[in-house]
Amino acid sequence: MDIQINQDQFIKTVEDNNIVVIDFFADWCGPCQTLLPTIHKLAEELKDEVTIKKVNVDTNRELSVAFNVRSIPTLVYFKNGKEVARHNGLLSEGMLRGHINQLKTA
C-alpha cells in the first residue's frame, strides 16, 4: 500500500478525514526508515479509523517549510482539519498507538 502523498494531495487528505497522521520523512534518514514498518503496519491496521500518510521532505520542500519541519521524522497529528499535536524523532509502535488513541478519544 502506497501511503505517500504530495503537496497537492495534502490539503484534501487533511480536510476530508477526521483524524490524520502525517509522517514527514526522507529516504536517506535512518530513523525514518526504522519507523517505516510501524507507519505501514498502523496505516493498514487502523485505516477505518485514522488516515496515516507520509510526505517526503525532499520532494515537498514547500510543505515542509509551511509546517516548520526542522528535523525528521516529524509526525504531525490533525483532527478535524487542524493540527493538534506533533512529535519529532523516532517513537515506538506503542507510543504512536498511544498518540493516536488520545486523538480518537479527545
Instruction: Report if residue 1 sits inside a domain.
Output: no
List, in order, residues 6 or more apart from 7 with CB less than 8 Å away: 60, 62, 63
Residue 2 domain-assigned?
no
- Tell me whether residue 105 is one of the annotated catalytic residues: no
The catalytic residue among 20, 32, 69, 72 is 32
List, for residues 4-52, the tens digit of each pLDDT value: 999 889 999 999 999 999 999 999 999 999 999 999 999 999 999 999 9
End-to-end CA distance of the chain: 28
Q: Is residue 60 part of a domain?
A: yes
Q: State the residue range of the domain holding 85.
A: 7-105
Amino acid letter for position 89 = G
Structural domain includes residue 36 = yes
Number of domains the chain contains: 1
Length of the chain counted residue by residue? 106
- Determine which one of 29, 35, 57, 69 is catalytic: 29
Q: For the domain that residue 97 is a member of, what is the CATH number?
A: 3.40.30.10
Q: What is the pLDDT of residues 68-102, one digit of tens each?
A: 999 999 999 999 999 999 999 999 999 999 999 99
Longest dimension (CA), the chain: 35
- Is-catalytic flag, 32? yes
